[in-house]
Structure 1
């Protein structure tokens, strides 16, 4: 009996601790060794596609092709500029330039990057209610076009200040939490857990380090929409 209990407990601990290494990149990483990243254990990458409604990352296409060839699950992300155009307009632009999703098992739902931007006011001049409405417009448009809600990338400080720590997205949008530390820390916005944790601003094979909170099977399920 004692042996059985210990074995069962070990299995539970292993399940709780299951994670998958990944990373995120943009044109700042001109050359990425996707094959080496895969061989080292990485299984997914999130690639910058667009900003606002007038910028396409010049490396998106080559990065996406390289990630696909290496066998990585991949997806695009959009850097939001809530002060320049509507959330719906930016979702449309993202979808038109690499941010789409298909049920092929290797494509993550798109991600919207919500954080401060150099030279801009922290919350882009929007009130907390206006910011929540902007994010909802982006999210709803993405969902109407793909059947998936986009992942939301943010950090505790920005989300608390700029949305009033809104809980409006906790049951629909997977959270990608940025915290460069040894622990996840406080999770904002009513989310009970983070789907992906950006735990460091460096990764051996390029970009930032990301940790998926679950097993490889669960990562594949996220890609499939199941």
Structure 2
């Protein structure tokens, strides 16, 4: 079993029902829509994106792009959440990545989260890059809600221990895509843990593309990638609790969400 894949979209993406249905056919199970930013921006496509998203997917969440003013931004965001008729089961995400944020921003993130929680919206999650979490710019241990959505564009792992969701690419058929490990991002109770292949043989890429790496740790990316439908022979080799697919052109993921086993070697 693989974990659910979702898309996150903003005014840069389409809002039509056909757009949502196409993304579903391509493998998306849920959507997260940008709703607001700061204290004066509203995504002009949000209404149509949410409406058509709900017609297509079982779950649609919304997010706010944060600029560091906890109470004011939470009030603005929640006012529009209510205006759109989104109930208290909706996943509400805070996007913490703006260049104007202070080096350490956890205190104001907590102000934002507390406001939502105190008003009964408890399905909250904090989005940020792996580098911001690992550097302590967002201090997970100090967050009032520990659910995190980590951005790390690779085909191995989010790079932050026990992340609840992982934005693994900015190009899933042209949009950002994430994997929901435990239902925290999609708002479902489905729990699907990652699993990895162990058998040498022929593999086929499931998703838009995967990258090759020079090393098992996945720290040195090569200028080599395989697109969806590409096939390659390889041997899974152990790396900690997972495996990597060793091939003549580099190491690839063996994560079953990204590739599928076709047949044994020989």
**TM-score greater than 0.5 by the shorter chain:** yes
Query: Which of the two has greater helix per residue?
Result: 1
Alpha-carbon distance, 1:116 to partner: 3.2
Moved over 6 A (4+): none
Q: 2:181 aligns with which of 213, 216, 220?
A: 213
Q: CA RMSD in A?
A: 2.6
Q: Does 1:36 align with 2:22?
A: yes
Please tell me whether the aligned partners of residues 19 and 211 of structure 1 are also in contact (alpha carbons under 8 angstroms): yes
Please give the alpha-carbon distance, in whole angstroms, between the structure 2 residues aligned to 1:76 and 1:102.
11
Aligned twin of 2:59: 73
| Structure 1 residue 201 displacement after superposition | 0.2
After superposition, give the CA deviation of every residue in 1:113-152 in whole Å (9 maximum; x if it has no partner): 00133xx3xxx2x353xx2210110010010012405210
Instruction: Pick the structure with more strand per residue.
Output: 2
Structure 1 window deviating more from structure 2 (20-29 vs 172-181): it is: 172-181
Deviation at 1:186, TM superposition (A): 2.4
Instruction: Tell me which residue corresponds to 2:168.
Output: 199
CA displacement at 1:173 relative to structure 2: 3.4
> Given the alignment of the two structures, is residue 109 of structure 1 paired with residue 91 of structure 2, yes or no?
yes
Aligned partner of 2:260 in structure 1 is none
Q: What secondary structure does 2:168 align onto?
A: strand
CA apart distance, 1:31: 4.4
1:179 CA displacement: 0.5
Aligned 8 A contact 2:15 2:52 in 1: no
Q: Deviations over 1:88-117 (max 9, x none)?
A: 1111111111378525xxx53200000133
Indicate the SS of the match to 1:88. helix
Contact 1:22/1:211, CA 8 A, preserved across alignment: yes
Q: In 2 relative to 1, CA 31–163 (structure 1 residues): closer, same or farther, beyond 3 Å?
A: same
Query: Partner of 2:149: helix, strand, or coil?
Result: strand
CA drift at 1:38? 2.1
Give the structure-2-normalised TM-score.
Answer: 0.62
> Map of 1:37-76 to 2, 5 A cutoff?
37-76=23-62
Q: Which 5+ residue runs of structure 1 have no aligned equivalent?
A: 1-13
